[in-house]
Each structure stands twice: as structure tokens, then as C-alpha cells.
Amino acid sequence: MEAGKFLTWRVGDVSITRVAELGGAPFPSTFMFPEATPELVRRHAWLRPHFAHEDGRLFGSIHSFVIESGKRRIIVDTCVGNDKPRSIDAWNLLQGPFLADLAQAGYAAETIDTVLCTHLHVDHVGWNTRLVNGKWVPTFPNARYLFGRREWEHWSSEEAKHRDGDVMADSVRPIIDAGLAELVDMHHVLTPEVRLEPTPGHTPGHVSVRISSRGEEAVITGDLMHHPLQCAEPDLANNFDVDADAARRTRREFLSRYSNKPALVLGTHFAPPTGGWVVAAEQAWRFEIRPPHPKTPDRR
């Protein structure tokens, strides 16, 4: 098994496991951030070696997190998916081993009871469905799929134009048609240990996922940040934010809220080691992969 294929963190009684679909190769920073030159990336030396190449390109990842809380098995975000026509080459008609990897990590699709999409972008809903005999069917037949009500209202509206083929048609509507979807509000509580935290801006109904157990805390970012570079440069424009100003406000609030706290931050597109801590640094923040707090557990 490739090193770092499955990372697991424990937060009190909860476990969180990362199962990756894509990542590894560095990409030009301008793919995400039009103003991020290689020089700007290189200025933040702490990004190397995990999050940036020395030439200034960035490392990222597309992965799911599976949360085990009590008897519940919750998959957070479902990546790009196989067989889907998409405009980004690396995502187009993908044929990847994600479901086999998920099973290998101990989470066969039929054992998942909850699917949660932090938002309805193409790389967060893909494995909601899979292609069987020419039809898109739910990948997780025994799960309730939680979609943000605000998010669904936005993306199902006439004005919303999707840039990546008909994402709603192949990855969201089949779930609604199958009766497996539940539209939830942005403060939804999933279990006594897992709840949503509203972080709008990247998309109108975007949420993060807060995990609290036995006094320990973690949060899954979703796309309020795509890369640790944004801790140091929280105002960087991003190619994928629907409302850039709201996204900046949310990012700054989030970074202040979690800065210098013993709360494990799990980045939805952060390359391995993926989890770390937000610490105040200079005018902004930094993402540290070692706990700044001696009591913060890291029993990976």
C-alpha cells in the first residue's frame, strides 16, 4: 500500500480516515489562485516539502473523509467519481480505484449510512453515483445523503451555470429521484459529536464539519480554503469562489476562530499529511503539521 494512502486521526471517541482519489503531481499555483506567482509561493518556505514544490508549484489532493461516530459511518465529500464527462482533463471519464480503496480502508460502500457534501461542486459529489448499465445509480445504497438546502436551491436554479458538464444531472438529481436525499440547514447536527458549521462564500450554502468528542476538537474545512497557502495569504483571489468577498470574510473568521487552539484542522484539498493546526504568524496565519499544544493528541 502506497505510503499515506489512508491517514486516520482520532478525536476523542471519533475516528476520521482519509481516502484519496487524486493527487501527487504538483500543479501551477495559478490554476487555483490567479495572483499567486511562483515567487509568492516560494516566499512561504514552511509550505515545503508537503504543500509546495521548490519551483513554486503546489501540491493538492482530492479525497474523502470517513467519520466514525458511535455506530455511524459518515463519508464527507465524494470526490470526482468515475465515468463522468468533465471539462478538466484529469477528471474527465475517470477510471480510478476509489471504491476499492474505500473498501480496503474498511468502508465498503454499502456500510456507509450517511453521505455529506460540504457543497455541490464537481469534485465533492462525484461518487454520489456510479454508472450501472448506462444509468447513474446511488453508490451508497444504504445511506441518507445530506445536501445543504441553500446549496441545492442555488445549484438547481435556472441561473446557476455549471462549468463541468451537468453535475447536478449525473451526481445530485439521481439521489433526489431515488428518495435518498435530505435537505439540511447549515447548522445541522448529525450526531452528538458531529455537526455542520456554516462557512459560506466559496458557494452560498457551503459548510464545514465540526467534530467534538471528550474535550477534543477537529474541523473539516471543505473548500473555505483549498490550500495551506491561504493561511498566509487569506485574501488571495480564488478561481472557484462564487462570492470572493464573502469567501475572504469567512476564511479570516475561520482562521481567527481556530488559530492557536488545540483543534485539528483537516483540509479537504490539503496534500498529506492533510491535518494540522492553524497558528498566528506575522500578519496572518500558518498551517503547522505538528501540534503546537502539548496535550493535542495525534495518535495517527
> Contact positions toward Zn ion, by CB under 5 A?
121, 223
Do residues 30 and 45 make contact, with C-beta atoms less than 8 angstroms apart? no
> At residue 197, what are phi and psi to the nearest 5 degrees?
-130, 120
41-79: string of b/e by CB count within 10 Å (b at 16+)?
A: bbebeebeebbbbeebbbbbbbbbbbbbbeeebbbbbbb
Could you tell me the smallest distance in angstroms from the CB atom of residue 203 to Zn ion?
A: 6
Q: Closer CB to Zn ion, residue 170 or residue 223?
A: 223
Q: Closer CB to Zn ion, residue 105 or residue 167?
A: 167
Q: Closer CB to Zn ion, residue 193 or residue 223?
A: 223
Do residues 87 and 164 make contact, with C-beta atoms less than 8 angstroms apart? yes
Q: Closer CB to Zn ion, residue 222 or residue 272?
A: 222
| AA identity, residue 273 | P
Could you tell me the smallest distance in angstroms from the CB atom of residue 147 to Zn ion?
A: 14
User: From CA 204, how far away is CA 200, in angstroms rounded?
Assistant: 5
Could you tell me the smallest distance in angstroms from the CB atom of residue 127 to Zn ion?
A: 15
Could you tell me the smallest distance in angstroms from the CB atom of residue 121 to Zn ion?
A: 3
Report the residue number whose CB is nearest to Zn ion.
121
- Among candidate residues 250, 225, 230, 219, the one with its CA nearest the CA of residue 240: 225
Beta pairing class for 263-266 and 275-281: antiparallel
Could you tell me the smallest distance in angstroms from the CB atom of residue 208 to Zn ion?
A: 12
Q: Closer CB to Zn ion, residue 56 or residue 222?
A: 222
